[in-house]
């Protein structure tokens, strides 16, 4: 069964192109380690909620845009092996075009999928 990594990231609005280039640069690294798909979505209709919302979840500021992303994997084992390899590679982390401390990330097992390919 497929496995999905989900991300919510506050990105400075002025860094849209820099952020897009950053993700495009990293995609082949994950693809070559088994990831099957990537979607990077720039928020253009992210309303404020009464209790919580995407912006508050990442402590977004007025000069930031909320980005919603997901990466698909054939299964959790492939994803776990890719991340273990990334940590073992001991490669220097590049400067991020966003505040990585406010990135929300999690792995998800699909339980109902209709009308989309994962």
Q: What CATH number is given to the structural domain containing 57?
A: 3.30.70.100
Residue 117 placed within a domain = no
Residue 28 placed within a domain = yes
Q: Look up residue 12 and give its DSSP letter.
A: E
The total domain count for the chain is: 1
Spatial CB neighbours of 8, under 8 Å, sequence gap ≥ 6? 54, 57, 58, 66, 67, 68, 69, 103, 104
Rounded Cα distance, 35 and 72, in Å: 6
pLDDT of residue 91: 66
Residue 56 placed within a domain = yes
Digit-coded pLDDT (tens) for 59-109: 999 999 999 999 999 999 999 999 999 888 876 777 889 998 999 999 999
Residue 31: domain span: 3-92+100-108
Residue 51 placed within a domain = yes
Residue 42 placed within a domain = yes
Residue 50 placed within a domain = yes
Residue 64 placed within a domain = yes
What is this structure's pTM?
0.89
Digit-coded pLDDT (tens) for 100-110: 899 999 999 99
Rounded Cα distance, 4 and 72, in Å: 5
Residue 44 placed within a domain = yes
Digit-coded pLDDT (tens) for 20-61: 999 999 999 999 999 999 999 999 999 999 999 999 999 999
């Amino acid at each position: 069964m497929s496995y999905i990594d989900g991300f919510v990231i506050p990105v400075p609005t002025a860094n849209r192109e820099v952020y897009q280039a950053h993700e495009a640069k990293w995609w082949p690294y994950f693809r070559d380690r088994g990831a099957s798909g990537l979607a990077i979505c720039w928020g253009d209709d992210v309303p404020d909620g009464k209790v919580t919302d995407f912006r508050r979840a990442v402590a977004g500021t007025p000069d930031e845009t909320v980005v919603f992303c997901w990466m698909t994997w054939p299964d959790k084992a492939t994803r776990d092996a890719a991340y273990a390899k990334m940590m073992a590679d001991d490669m220097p982390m590049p400067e991020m075009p966003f505040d990585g401390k406010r990135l929300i990330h999690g792995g998800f097992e699909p339980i109902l999928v209709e009308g989309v390919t994962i």
